[in-house]
Chains A and B, each alone.
Chain A
Amino acid sequence: MIDAYQENTLIYNPKLCNGCAMCVAVCPHAVFEMDDRLAQLVRPEACMECGACQVNCVTNAIAVESGVGCASAMIRAALTGKKDVSCDCA
């Protein structure tokens, strides 16, 4: 059976990492870990594309197509024809 969540849009370029460890601090799924000096991508499959790491990476070493993984928001976007409808969560 296909697992729709096996792949995601997270891309990390360790060559640009300056070792600030911000990505480790902001990730809610422990996708990154620090080795001695640099961040390592240790659990890429756990990424939920929240975008916190990308937004807080000073050197742009991380890219991810961030967005809310919410079916009802996307269904509403499809029905109303709008590009980006956010969820109605409180």
Chain B
Amino acid sequence: MIDIGSIKSRPEIFTTTSRLSRSDHWDHVMARIGVRRNDHRIEPGLYALGNPNPDSPVFVTANYTLSFDALRSALGGMDGYILVLDTKGINVWCAAGKGTFGTNEIVLRVMITRLGEVVHHRKLILPQLGAPGVAAHEVKKRTGFWVEYGPVRASDLPEYLQTHKATVKMRQVQFTLRDRLVLVPVDLIRLLLPMLVVAGILYFVGGFMLSLAVVATVMAGTALFPVFLPWLPTPNFSTKGFLLGGLVALPFALSAFLMHPGQALWLQAGKAFGLLLAIPAVTAFIALNFTGSSTFTSRSGVRREMYRYIPAMAWTFGTGIILTGIFAFIH
């Protein structure tokens, strides 16, 4: 806890610009592929953008570089203040869910920066997605500052600021193909090493096709699933994952027949069946985990989906692996 009374002088007001440098863009690439995930931070505090005066607007954001940079680059040509909260390097929406982008942190940061002495007005413009952590009426009560919720996306700010009224579209989160695609690298890189290890082991145990199946399964779950999410025709993430995994498993199951046409039918069928069980289970599990990245799944819904489908994933995966193992051994 910081003792506000002990802070005698107003801390420094940092300066920033709306232009993103090369190193900013490099930092964004690193953040998007999950390199040093906790290091994409900026110093919390008050920042001056352009040449603000005491009547200039105050925008609030998180101390995650992608959040801060989205805000300042959207405010090109404007003068204002940016109040950066200490969200531990986490984006606005996730931090609001955890409460670090929250009422207490705003109150604390307003006091530490002595914002009331810097500006004449009493208004903070917050990103709408900060709202799960912030009780606007309580901020007003404790600091005297009104909270105004701006649009979801910083890029809508210039239009929003003309009227201070958000359209219905500005108020809604999206999950566009582009939004989904930028999430692929982080998950892919996280699963890359385990995928290569398993694929390597299976190459020696079961051959090239089996190790290729491992790579295809992980790629389907991490890359194809986010791309095809809206078009997979079932309501839940797990079932969408089973469906996609089934499609991926088909060619591998077929190859079990075609590769060794001379083998007994029951041997071929057993191998094919093992793959048809094991592959969709893994894809479904990766798909289920994508709920956390999506912008619309409720906690009670995810819980319901987990209770319903995780046992099915475990059973089909277990049975599939045992079958594949047995038939690889016989072979």
Contacts and interface: CB of A to CB of B under 8 A. Distances in A.
Contact of B173 (A2, A28, A56): A28
**For the complex, would chain A's binding face be called helix, strand, loop or mixed by DSSP majority?**
loop
Contacts of A65: 299-300
B137 A58 contact: yes
Interface residues of B, number: 53
A69 B239 CA distance: 17
B152, B236, B292, B304, most chain A CB atoms within 10 A: B292
Given A29-B172, A71-B292, A87-B292, A4 B236 contact: yes
Interface stretch (B124-132, B192-200, B210-218, B222-230): B124-132
B166 A28 contact: no
Given A27-B171, A90-B31, A72 B301 contact: no
Contacts of B96: 50, 52
B298 A71 contact: no
B132 A55 contact: yes
Contact of A1 (B134, B235, B295): B235
B185 to A, nearest CB: 13
B183 to A, nearest CB: 10
B305 interface: yes
B90, B132, B133, B235, most chain A CB atoms within 10 A: B132
A52 B131 contact: yes
A28 B292 contact: no
B155 interface: no
**For the complex, would chain B's binding face be called helix, strand, loop or mixed by DSSP majority?**
helix
A5 B297 CA distance: 7
B37 A69 contact: no
Contacts of B98: 86
A69 B299 contact: yes
A48 B308 contact: no
A36 B34 CA distance: 47
Interface string A31-73: 0000000000000001111111001101000000111111111
B303 A74 contact: yes
B301 A8 contact: yes
B97 interface: yes
Interface size class of A (residues with CB under 8 A): 35 or more
Nearest to A5: B301
Interface in B130-189: 131-137, 149, 152, 166, 168, 171-173
Interface string B281-316: 000000011011111111111111110100000000
Interface string B1-12: 000000000000
Interface string A76-90: 000000000011111
A79 B236 CA distance: 23
Contacts of A3: 235-236
B134, B137, B301, most chain A CB atoms within 10 A: B301
A46 B175 CA distance: 14
B306 A74 contact: yes
Nearest to B34: A90
A69, A71, A86, most chain B CB atoms within 10 A: A71
- For the complex of A and B, the 10 pairs showing the least CB-CB separation, nearest first, are A70-B292, A52-B131, A3-B235, A69-B297, A67-B299, A26-B131, A5-B301, A4-B304, A4-B305, A49-B298
Interface of A: 1-5, 7-9, 22, 24-30, 46-52, 55-56, 58, 65-75, 86-90
Given A66-B132, A69-B301, 19 more contacts: A2-B235, A5-B235, A8-B301, A9-B298, A24-B171, A25-B166, A28-B173, A47-B298, A48-B298, A55-B134, A55-B135, A56-B136, A56-B137, A70-B292, A71-B292, A71-B305, A86-B98, A87-B94, A90-B34
25 contacts: A4-B302, A5-B235, A24-B171, A25-B149, A27-B171, A28-B295, A47-B298, A52-B96, A55-B133, A55-B134, A56-B131, A58-B137, A66-B299, A68-B94, A68-B299, A69-B291, A70-B291, A71-B237, A71-B291, A71-B305, A74-B306, A75-B306, A89-B94, A90-B31, A90-B64
